[in-house]
Amino acid sequence: MTTQVSSKSHTPTFSRPRGPFAAFAFPRFRKVWIASVVFSLGNWGERLATGWVVLNETESVFLAAATFAVRQAPQLIFAPIGGAAADRFSRGNIMLLAGIYKAIVLSALALITANGLEPLWVVFVILAFSGVGHSFELPAVQGMVTGSVPRNIRMNAVAVQSTGMRAIGALGALAAGFAINLLGVPVTFLASGASFALGGVLALFANKDLQAGGAQRSGSVVRDTIDGLKIMSTMPIVRMILITAVVVEIFGFAYGAVMPAVAKEVLSVDEKGLGTLTMMAGFGSMFGTIFLMLLGDFKRKGLLLIGIAFAYGTFLATFSAFGSYAIALLLIMGVGASAAAFDAMQWTLLQLNVPDQMRGRAVGAWVFAIGFGWIGHLGLGALGELIGVQWALAAAGAIVVATGMLALFSPSLRRL
């Protein structure tokens, strides 16, 4: 392998990197990768601790699911703004601010959970503020990931970053389960907040030799946001990806909101069992993105996305149907693998089908689209209380499969 030094930078680049870890040939990418996986630890710990403590204190599947909904709903407003900011300002600075912000939010959650979730409405307000931070985090980190490698390596870079993020996060979920059991929920929230702050600092250093967003600095962030949404709405493939993202997010990714109920009411396990179940989903997501890494620059990306949707719906409908913890641990890996691969393929397709100066806004539009997932969280929680979480998950999985079937009729997606 030969090394070439750019005349504009002292950072070495590598010619013709190959293999499943091709993106690691680029030092810039390695720095971004480390920052993103540290951020992931915070996200996994926050989700697991919040769902468990609300279910345990209220005995309500609906309220536990609602915690996921209120975290996601603010993305409908703030995600397009976060995407425009990622195209306009230093993404490292955005990640640093997001990390500090999330650390403060989780410290507030630790304080209120130490007082027994009283009053409960304050928990939901704090979680809504957490969702605001996520709206800025994801466009920035994805812009850093794809900006650190050449265009032909972007699918691999997204897959490698997602693999690390989910693998480390899976271990973090297991650790969070044991931390809740041994140290309590408040300490778990504080540890997750520290992870966010550290990830922000690492992202700042990772971004030092990366370009900021490519948008011109005339005008305003609001104007960039509006213009970006208008342009992307005219692109058939981008429009189709975002529509698919909305439907699958509502009916597919809502499963995380009822995982505490599946663990406690269907599989009869405690918080350590929930942590293990979540860890297996994390390991599955790692395998799903490893699969994409091994594919390299796969040519039929649209058909691959559709196939992943079929698998996702099937695993989702069946993983808790047998009421067996052992079977659930096996099948939840399929759910995690499909979910991770589906997300990574959407990020890849979006960033390959928009101009480079709009990559942040493309991911921001995707985060906006998945912001509608709060409907699924509330709906699945309500349906779970009404007919049971097993039947609710079976119905959700069937709709995801149907979405994959309908996507087959999209010429623009099939041609990719």
* CA nearest neighbour of 344 among 198, 173, 138, 192: 138
Structure-block tokens of residue 107: 């410290």
DSSP for 263-277?
Answer: IIIIS---HHHHHHH
6 band by pLDDT with thresholds 50, 70 and 90: very low
- Phi, psi of 238, deg, nearest 5: -65, -45
Helices 61-72 and 373-387: crossing angle in degrees, nearest 10, is 180
Residue 96 has pLDDT above 90, yes or no: yes
Largest CA distance in the chain: 64
Q: What is the mean pLDDT of residues 105-126?
A: 85
Task: Specify the DSSP class assigned to residue 261.
Answer: H
Residue 215's pLDDT is 45
From the centroid of its chain, how far is CA 321? 25
67, 123 contact by CB (below 8 A): yes
If you average pLDDT over residues 353-367, what whole number do you get?
Answer: 76
Distance from C-alpha of 31 to C-alpha of 210, rounded to nearest angstrom: 11
What's residue 296's pLDDT?
A: 67
Answer yes or no: is pLDDT of 10 > 60: no
Each residue's pLDDT tens digit, 228-278: 667 667 777 788 888 888 888 889 888 887 888 888 888 888 878 887 888
Structure tokens at 248: 């699958």
Return the pLDDT at 16.
55
pLDDT tier, 311 (very low <50, low <70, confident <90, very high otherwise): very high
pLDDT at 219: 59
More confident residue, 384 or 353: 384
- 400-413 pLDDT, tens per residue? 999 888 887 777 67
Look at the pTM and tell me if it is higher than 0.85: no
| Residue of higher predicted confidence among 352 and 102 | 102
Residue-averaged pLDDT of the chain: 81
Amino acid 414: pLDDT? 67
* Structural domains in the chain, sorted by start: 20-212+220-415 (1.20.1250.20)
Burial of 113 (0-12, 13-18, 19+ CB in 10 A): buried
Whether 329 has a pLDDT exceeding 70, the answer reads yes
Q: Per-residue pLDDT for 290 more than 60? A: yes
Specify the pLDDT at position 210: 55
User: Is the pLDDT assigned to residue 74 strictly greater than 90?
Assistant: no
Strand 12-14 relative to strand 3-5, pairing? antiparallel
